[in-house]
Structures are given as C-alpha cells and as structure tokens.
Structure 1
Amino acid sequence: MKYLSSYFTFATAIALLFSFEPPSFDISEKFVQCLYNYPHISNSISNVVYAQTNSSYSSILDMSIRNYRFFNLSSKPQVIVTPLEVFHIQATIICSQRHGLQIRTRSGGHDYEGLSYVAGVPFVIVDLLNLRQITVDVENRTAWVQAGATLGELYYTISQKSKTLGFPAGVCATVGTGGHFSGGGYGFLMRKYGLAADNIIDAHIIDVNGNLLDRKAMGEDLFWAIRGGGGASFGVIVAWKIKLVPVPSTVTVFNVARTLEENATEIIQKWQLVANKLDERIFIRVDVKKVNSREPGKQTIQANFVSMFQGGVEELIPLMQKSLPELGLERKDCTETSWIGSVVFANAVLVGSTVNEAPEVLLNRSRFRPGINKAKSDYVRKPIPIDGLQGLWRLLYEVPDGELQFAPYGGRMDEISESEIAFAHRSRYIFHIHYVVVWEEEGDEAAQRYMNWIRKLYKYMEPYVSNSPRAAYVNYRDLDIGVNNHGYTSYNQASIWGLKYFGNNFRRLATVKTRVDPDNFFRNEQSIPTLSTDEGN
C-alpha cells in the first residue's frame, strides 16, 4: 500500500486542476474534462471513465446490480469511474464537487436499496471493482484488503496462505468488503470473534478534500466511525487492514431441515432459549421458508438449522445433545471440513447449491443473483412465544418466496461495549432477524404487492422485537424506516432512522461527520447528517 504518501502533496496539485471549459458543455462533459485536466491523470483516465455515450457504460453499470428492482431506472449516473489508482478517486471527488455531482461508491453492489448505484440527483459512481488487491501477512496474522475485493476473494486468498487462519465476516461471497466491513459484517465466526468491523486495525480513506488518510492521519474518531457507521458518509474507503483470527484445522458443518410436522416450531422455541448461550465456537443460524409438503398438493413451513462448529464432530454431538436435543442431530448430519470448506458450504446453502465445490467458486463475482427483492431487519431481546411464531408461519404462506433468517448472538458479542466501535447492537440481544422477499414478476403492481407483504410482516413483528428505538442493521438497508431530504436534513429528522441503526452512537457519528465533511458532500438517503449550530455543532 505504497500510495499513502500521496495525501501529503495533494493540496498543492489542486491549484493546477482547473482550466477554461466551453460553456456549451453539459454536466457530464464538464466533469470528464475536469478529470482530464487533473495533473498526471490524462494518460490513464480514459480507461476508467464511462460516460453514458460509452458503448460499455450499460454493461459496467449493470455488472454489480444485485437487486433487479433497480434495473432500467431513469435515474442513472452521469459517469461511472472504475479507478485503478488512488488519484483517480481523488480527481473524481474534486471534480464532482466542482460540478455539483454527488458520489455513490460501489464495492459489491449488494446494498438492498441500491444506494451505491441509484440516486435521485445528478451523480457519479465510483466503482471499486478494479481495486481488489489482497496482501496476507501470515507471521503477523494481518492482511490488507482493498475495498473492491469481495468476501469470497478475501477468504480464498487467506486460505491459500494458511490453513489455520480465517476472518469473521459474512457468508455471501460476492459482497464487497468496502461496504460490508464499514457497516459491521457478521457471519459464522461472530460468536467467537465478533464482527468484521471489530477486527479492523487500520484503514485508508480519501476525504472530502482528496487527502488519503491512514488511521493515524484520520484520527481515532473517524476510525471509530467507519467501523460500523457506514463508510460512505465520510469519504471513499480504499483499503482495510484486518486482524486474522485462528481457526482449527478441522471444523464441522451441518444443515438440518425440520418441517412443522417434524416439530420445527418447538425446536425453534428451544433454540431461542439456548442459541446465544451455547459454546461460543457454535453458530447455528435458522432459515425459515415455505416448501412443498410430503403430502401431494400441500405446503408447509421448513426451518433449516445451518451451523458451523470450530472443532470436530465427536466434540460437537455431545454439546448438541446437552443443549439442543430437540434437533436430534446425528453424526450422519455433519461434515468435517476445513475453515475454507465451511465458507464454501455456507455459500452453497445461500445460493441453493448442493454440490461439493472447490474453493475457487468463491472467486466467481457473478455467482449470486438475487433477483428482485426487498429486505428488512430486527433484533430480538426475549424469545418470541409459540403463538407469535405461528403467526409468522401464516404470513409466510401468503407469498411464493419469503424467508426469515435468525442469527444468534452471545459469546464475544456480549463482551464488546456498544460504544467500542460505531456498531451498537451488542449484548442486549439474543438474536437478529433478516427478512427478505424475492419475486420474478415484473411491473409496479407486483412490486407493490410484495413490498406491502414484507411491510405487513414487519408490522406484525413489532410486539416481539426491540423497541425505543426498534433496532435495524445498516447493512440490510431499509428506506422504509426513514430518509433524508435531498437538501439539508436536521439531526432530529435523521434520528428517525439513525437511532434504529446506531442507537446511542448516532450523535457521535454526526459529530464526526460535521468535523470531517462539514458541507455534507458525501451524502445519500441515509447518510449521517451534519450538526447545525443550534444542534450543538
């Protein structure tokens, strides 16, 4: 990461940036011309700039759209920049400010509301797909990963260097590290090692002035904010330095399905009581959806208990028999594998593959295509009663493809203070809920029908989940809970959604934002607001 020194000399280059432009140029032409005027950039910029007239524009735009709800919208970026070097991003920031364009930064494209590639105002996409270098230091148990790399690329690279090191982050291999880490990032190692954001030890970010900063240069407040507070509110994150964690050479995985007829409701009820209290090496997620029943022409609800245990099967079975005997786990249900094997397993469950695949599958950036979807999230403080669960199942019968995921807390998550980093959802919760509905029907009527269904589901769950505020996970972006204005948004207005995502950390996030981006250049529908003088700035 030799590029860090560039921020010391950047300010001296800005004076050379601007030159005369014909008044007839439209905004995108002016922006592109501004990029070409940037010192030392003209020889390299043509290969990374895609205006709407470029023949490759649409393919670059569509490549990382993971939610087809945002295909073919009229609101498209004026220009897409796919930087190869830091100064490409620096120039984009400066030129965007000069010409009144917003920036949306995209690393993987999995933002549920498309905020990394959709905007209601003129904007530019900075797509980090070319910035995906990963350097693993086995001796010091660290790695540098550029923000455009995917989780799959990171996991694979770690596995090629060590069989006993891993990293605690999500299971979807095509998610970009840039947004995932900055929003928290949880996965199968969460109960042992916490979140991805808990294991970040340095970062490189380009600020509103175009300066490239490391942890020392940005200061501890900004470093605190970008670990769980969402990086896009504060600048463009270029790379993370992460702390790798030890994993055993043998881990055990299972995916056990139980239908209502096989006492799924009762097993989930018991799971709620024990999942966050199990040995911290055990992570058992519950995926619930509607499936065809064994009786012809009928349907039922099925719960899949998807798990990874950091150890061998002979140690796992007694632990499960003691804590969750209702599941009836047997040795034949389990597979011993390596840590990277467990990552492949978890990803296969996600995409619906049942084939034993090689780790190289994690490098396929186009593997996960979720279709048209809408998602929401919740946090649970006390077990949902049986009648509450049964009401959930009735709702799942109403749509073809709705799903719930229950992810347990406890372990390391109970030990970290909610103010340690910007991610606030810690020891008060026993598990997290991810709601998602996917559909294939096109058109506004179908979209509204499915959106209404998941909103109905969310309203139904209100008595059973956290409140005051009702908590939500920023990486499962949900604009239903509140949005900013296109212009100025007060802290109080933003608090409608901000307290749900960040709890008591929201005020500190706004204070950091006010210091590092006082004019609120880095903004979107749910970006951290600045504080006015009246609000305590």
Structure 2
Amino acid sequence: MATPSSPSTPLFPLLLLLLLLFVVVSSSLSSSASLSDTFLQCLVNHTRTLQQQQEPFQILHSPTNLSFPTLLQSLVRNRRFNTSSTPKPQLILTPSHPSHVQSTVLCARRTGTELRIRSGGHDFEGTSYVARAPFLILDMFNFRSIDVDVKQETAWVGSGATLGELYYRIWEKSGLYGFNAGVCPTIGVGGHLSAGGYGNMLRKFGLASDNVVDAQIVDVEGRVLDRSSMGEDLFWAIRGGGGASFGVILGYRVKLVPVPKVVTVFRVGRTIEENATELVYQWQNIAPRTDNDLFMRLLLQPVSSKRQKGAKTVNASVLALFLGNADRLVSMVNEEFPLLGLRKEDCAEMSWIESVLWWGDFDSGTAVDALLDRMPKSVNFLKRKSDYVRIPMSREELELLWDKLIELGKVGFVFNPYGGKMWEIPASDTPFPHRAGNLFKIQHSISWNEDGIEVELSNLAKIRELYNFMTPYVSKNPRRAFLNYRDLDIGITDNGENSYKEGSVYGVKYFAENFNRLVKVKTAVDPQNFFRNEQSIPPFPRSSLAMSQYSGSTDTARKVTVLVILFLFLKDLMTIYS
C-alpha cells in the first residue's frame, strides 16, 4: 500500500491544489494596496457613478497630508483624547456634498474600516473621533448650511453647524423666534439633536429633539433618506437615540419657538454660611414646579471661604432665564421662593439673542456675531457623569454632600430642573425616556489643565467617588443617565457576539423601556452593525451572528475566511491519512 505522501496516491493532487490556493490568497493579502490608495480608488469609482464634480482626493486626508494634524485636532473638545498615545484615524474624510457621504459609507464597508462620525467634537468620551480598532473619521463640519423660514416657523440646519450659528441665523431673520437647545454655542447640531439636546427653555418647549420635524440621513446602503422615505421608526430613533448608531445625519428641520422681545436673566449665589443648605433644599421642590417661563439652574461647587481664611465652603448659585420682564419675575420669585431674596437690581433685561451670549459666558457688550466663532474659549481635560433625582434630598443629606464636595475639592454639580413640558411629553414619544417624575438632572463635572496620567487618574477617581456617594439619592433600577453626557464608566460593548447583552447594561440606563425598541430599529436598518461605537445601539443577537458570518462585505474578510476554511480542511485531511 502506498504511503499518503506518495505521488501515486489521489491525495497528492488535492493537497497540491489546496497549497496553491493558500499561496494565491496569501499573496493577495500581502500585496494589497494601502488603505489610502484603496479608499481613494473606491471614492473615484463611486464619485463617477454619482456624477459628483468635486474630485475625491480633495475630501480625503491621510496622515501624510500636512492638513491632517490640524483637521484632527481642530474639533477635539476634550484634551484627554488629544495626546500622543490617543489612537489616530487612518484617514479623515471631509465631505461637502451628500454624495461624498454616500461614497464614504460604501467604501468604508468595502474596505472593512470602522467609521466614526464627528459633527462638533463635544462627545465627552471622544467616541466621535477615537476608536480602538483601525478607523477613519467622517468629519461633517462642511455641512453647515442653515435655511430659516420664518413664515413656516422652521429652519433646516446641517449636522455640522454649531448651535451658535443656528441661533445667529434665526436672530438674523427675526427677533421673535429662537430654538430650545444647549447654552454652549460651539456644540455641533448633529450629535446634540440626535441624542436629545436640552437647553434653558426645556420647561417651556421640551428638548431640541422634541422639536425636530424632518431629517436627512445616509443609511448603511448609501441611500439619502428623509422622514417620508426612512419611515417613522427610524425617524423616532434618531431623535434621542443617537444618530451615529443608525447612519450619517446630514441635517435636521427644526420647529422654531416663539420668544418675547424682552427676557430676563439673573445669577444669585449663597454659601453654606449664608444658608445655602436651606436654599438648595427648597430649590428642589420649587424649580421643577414654578411657571414654565422660568428656568432656574443650580450650580454647586467648593470654594474658599470668605469668612474663615484657609477654610473651604460650598457655593450654591442659581442661574435663571425668564421669558418675560424683570417686574413679573421678581414678583413671582419672591412669592414662591422668598429665601432667594431676588431683587430687581439682580436682574438684567435683554433680547433672547443677548441672553444666549450671557449664558455662553461672553463679556457684556459682545457683538452677536461672536456666536459664529466655532472655536471655544478654552479646551480642558474633563470628565462628566449624569444622574436623575426623583425624591428631594433632605437637609441632613445635603450637609453630607457639602462635606464630600469639600473633601474632594475640584468636583462640582449642575442641577437642571425639569417639570413643565418635560412632564407632559410621554416617555415613549422619543427615545429620551426621562420625563414625568424626574425633578432634576445632575451633571457631575470635573475639569483640569495639567497634563499627565497621574493627574488624570487622580481626577477621575474624585468624580467616580462623588458618583458612588450619590448612589442612595438618585434614580434606581436602573440608575439613569443622559446620552448627551456620554459616560463609558456605565458600560461598553466590543460589538462582538455579546453586543446585545453588553449594550443592555448602558442601554437601559440611557433609554430605559425604549432600549429594546431602539434595538429593533437598529436590527431593521443596520443588521450587520456597521455603524457602531463603544456605546452604540446593538442589533438583536441573531443579527450579530449574521454579521460574524457575513463580515463579508469586505475583500479582506472574505480572504481570511477562505484561508481559515482551507487550513481546517487541510488539517482534517492530514488527520485522516496520517
């Protein structure tokens, strides 16, 4: 009997064929062009198909381009993710036309490259421009067009525009309208609105996402869809569920909100020695239940005592926007909240657009066109966390909190009252579920300017200690969180086989009972989970399995699969004939 290795046996030609296939595929893998060249050629092909005039190389930036570092760093709003050790993208794409976005999505799928979508760069955890796997950035800052239609009381705004630009363009057309979004003017519209978006008129008009009436999105198939063509399920999902889980948001049509000719602002502060404990205790019950025209934000932070040298205390500051004049405001506040001691001289009357500058911490007298500046005054290292409070803290609990704030030193709080419209809108209307029953939202905040890993770890430890301290006093089962205040501490997914299980951990905190509806939409529109990040909406498990079998849309993935199959087959044959 001939041995298995003898040329006279039938096995030899089969082994020779398998070896030849192995060499061919391996050679193909090793000789593949660089990602930049491959991606550029793919863009060229799709650009011709879509008949777009601008050359693809004008929107593609590789690390060898002189413009690359500037583009990468220009929209980084958290210095924690702008260090030498921060993972860098393989490419940055700067589209200026929908066809560029379509081509980028299709080419990213073809090359098997992870895609991160950035509009303003304010994601607190940097997930719009940092990834652990090889990735590219689709930077939407060129999508900045804003078309205000006063007659229809709407505005179309590109996802790369900032809130400041939107506010300015509305004011430019009419001083009788505004929009209820955030107070930071450099925030990008795309991420802000798609994750909910709130501002100092939420008690009157709800969230920014509550006032979105249409949108355009590029889906995983490279199609440009509006509300009518995407369907109501997907339109529901991208108004609070985070657009980057479902596609690339090109822009939103928003409903303008009426504002009076005169609004009033004030800031009044008290320390512990000035009865801040009683002030904060009362604020918890008054701020969510007062007139819907009044928004009273509360800031809590440790400060140096003016009464005792070298000692620390806690300052509680109330910052307010009132949609009306000072006389009416003072009368109402002194009736409902006499402990605040509000005087007319504490107040400033102004137009709504001037109040935007006031809340943005611009100097008095700053021209309105300062809102068009896309660069923030400063960029710090920072960490943010969030909570919701449904039961007021007692005076004794507040005193324990003061001790903890003084002990930790740098950590502060922002309390944002709900009530009003926020309690009227059903939790199922949008993915944002934190409606009736929530008295206020907490932002845990810490910022620092010193570089270094030890400094970072020390500051992260402080804010996490404060977060743990607050556990008995905030929402439970689940402990809820706000997507716009992204916090990777509450859970992440590696987008593998366990993505649904891992996603449920943070998903129910952000979306509560709306999480599974978001998963259902995700499974329908992106079953292979192409649009993903560390806290994206996962598809249902069966889609994750399909993805692992499919990963298949890329040449590299197919070749690797062939190699694995050939290797296992060859191994089995060798076992049989040995």
* TM-score band w.r.t. shorter chain: over 0.9
SS in 2 for 1:130: coil
Matched residue, 2:385: 376
Greater mean deviation of Cα atoms: 161-170 or 480-489: 480-489
- Whether the 8 Å CA contact 1:485–1:525 is kept in 2: the answer is yes
Matched residue, 2:527: 518
Matched residue, 1:10: none
Q: 298, 309, 318: which is aligned to 2:331?
A: 318
Matched, 1:123 2:123: no
Equivalent position amino acid for 1:30 in 2: T
Cα distance in 2, alignment partners of residues 43 and 269 from structure 1: 60
TM-aligned CA deviation for residue 493 of structure 1? 2.5
Matched residue, 2:315: 302
Equivalent position amino acid for 1:303 in 2: A
What are the Cα deviations for residues 436-482 of structure 1, in whole angstroms up to 9, with x where unaligned? 11112221111111111111111110100000000000000000000
Matched residue, 2:5: none
SS in 1 for 2:313: strand
- Whether the 8 Å CA contact 1:21–1:30 is kept in 2: the answer is no
Equivalent position amino acid for 1:108 in 2: G
TM-aligned CA deviation for residue 45 of structure 1? 2.1
Matched, 1:37 2:45: yes
Matched residue, 1:15: none
> Which consecutive unaligned segments of at least 5 residues does structure 1 have?
1-19
Cα distance in 2, alignment partners of residues 499 and 525 from structure 1: 15
Matched residue, 2:569: none
Matched residue, 1:343: 356
Equivalent position amino acid for 1:332 in 2: E
Equivalent position amino acid for 2:35 in 1: I
Cα distance in 1, alignment partners of residues 37 and 545 from structure 2: 40
Matched residue, 1:173: 185
Matched, 1:55 2:66: yes
Equivalent position amino acid for 2:382 in 1: N
- Whether the 8 Å CA contact 1:93–1:210 is kept in 2: the answer is yes
Equivalent position amino acid for 1:157 in 2: R
- Whether the 8 Å CA contact 1:133–1:149 is kept in 2: the answer is yes
Q: 134, 155, 163: which is aligned to 2:175?
A: 163
Cα distance in 2, alignment partners of residues 536 and 519 from structure 1: 9
Matched residue, 2:422: 413
- Whether the 8 Å CA contact 1:174–1:368 is kept in 2: the answer is no
Cα distance in 2, alignment partners of residues 357 and 144 from structure 1: 27
TM-aligned CA deviation for residue 291 of structure 1? 2.0
Matched residue, 1:242: 254
Matched, 1:450 2:463: no
Greater mean deviation of Cα atoms: 447-456 or 295-304: 295-304
Cα distance in 2, alignment partners of residues 256 and 423 from structure 1: 31
Cα distance in 2, alignment partners of residues 251 and 91 from structure 1: 46
Residue correspondence of structure 1 range 183-194 to structure 2 within 5 A:
183-194=195-206
Q: 149, 153, 166: which is aligned to 1:137?
A: 149
Q: Which has the larger radius of gyration?
A: 2
Matched, 1:107 2:119: yes
Cα distance in 2, alignment partners of residues 99 and 490 from structure 1: 22
What are the Cα deviations for residues 100-159 of structure 1, in whole angstroms up to 9, with x where unaligned? 111111111000000000000111111111110000000110000000000010011101
Equivalent position amino acid for 1:344 in 2: L
Residue correspondence of structure 1 range 201-216 to structure 2 within 5 A:
201-216=213-228
Residue correspondence of structure 1 range 78-89 to structure 2 within 5 A:
78-89=90-101
Matched residue, 2:31: 23
Return closer, same or farther for 1:439/1:388 CA change in 2, 3 Å cut-off.
same
TM-aligned CA deviation for residue 521 of structure 1? 0.1
Residue correspondence of structure 1 range 244-323 to structure 2 within 5 A:
244-295=256-307, 296-323=309-336
Q: 506, 509, 513: which is aligned to 1:500?
A: 509
Equivalent position amino acid for 2:508 in 1: L
What are the Cα deviations for residues 32-62 of structure 1, in whole angstroms up to 9, with x where unaligned? 3322232245743222211111111001000
SS in 2 for 1:149: coil
Cα distance in 1, alignment partners of residues 328 and 500 from structure 2: 51
TM-score (norm 1): 0.93
TM-aligned CA deviation for residue 194 of structure 1? 0.2
Equivalent position amino acid for 1:49 in 2: L
Greater mean deviation of Cα atoms: 296-305 or 208-217: 296-305
Cα distance in 2, alignment partners of residues 368 and 480 from structure 1: 28
Q: 60, 76, 85: which is aligned to 1:65?
A: 76
Equivalent position amino acid for 1:197 in 2: S
Cα distance in 2, alignment partners of residues 368 and 223 from structure 1: 35
Matched, 1:147 2:156: no
Cα distance in 2, alignment partners of residues 469 and 145 from structure 1: 35
SS in 1 for 2:387: strand
Matched residue, 2:498: 489
Cα distance in 2, alignment partners of residues 254 and 172 from structure 1: 18
Equivalent position amino acid for 2:446 in 1: V
Cα distance in 2, alignment partners of residues 485 and 535 from structure 1: 12
Return closer, same or farther for 1:439/1:36 CA change in 2, 3 Å cut-off.
same
Matched residue, 1:14: none
Equivalent position amino acid for 2:228 in 1: K
TM-aligned CA deviation for residue 205 of structure 1? 0.3
> Which consecutive unaligned segments of at least 5 residues does structure 2 have?
1-27, 547-578
TM-score (norm 2): 0.86
Name the one with the larger helix percent.
Answer: 2
Equivalent position amino acid for 1:170 in 2: G
Cα distance in 2, alignment partners of residues 109 and 195 from structure 1: 20
Q: 338, 346, 369: which is aligned to 1:333?
A: 346
Cα distance in 2, alignment partners of residues 165 and 408 from structure 1: 23
- Whether the 8 Å CA contact 1:36–1:42 is kept in 2: the answer is no
SS in 2 for 1:129: coil
Equivalent position amino acid for 1:215 in 2: R
Pairs aligned (count):
514
Cα distance in 2, alignment partners of residues 243 and 529 from structure 1: 30
SS in 2 for 1:222: helix
Matched residue, 2:374: 365
Matched residue, 2:484: 475
TM-aligned CA deviation for residue 492 of structure 1? 2.8
Q: 172, 197, 213: which is aligned to 2:209?
A: 197
Return closer, same or farther for 1:183/1:125 CA change in 2, 3 Å cut-off.
same
- Whether the 8 Å CA contact 2:497–2:541 is kept in 1: the answer is no
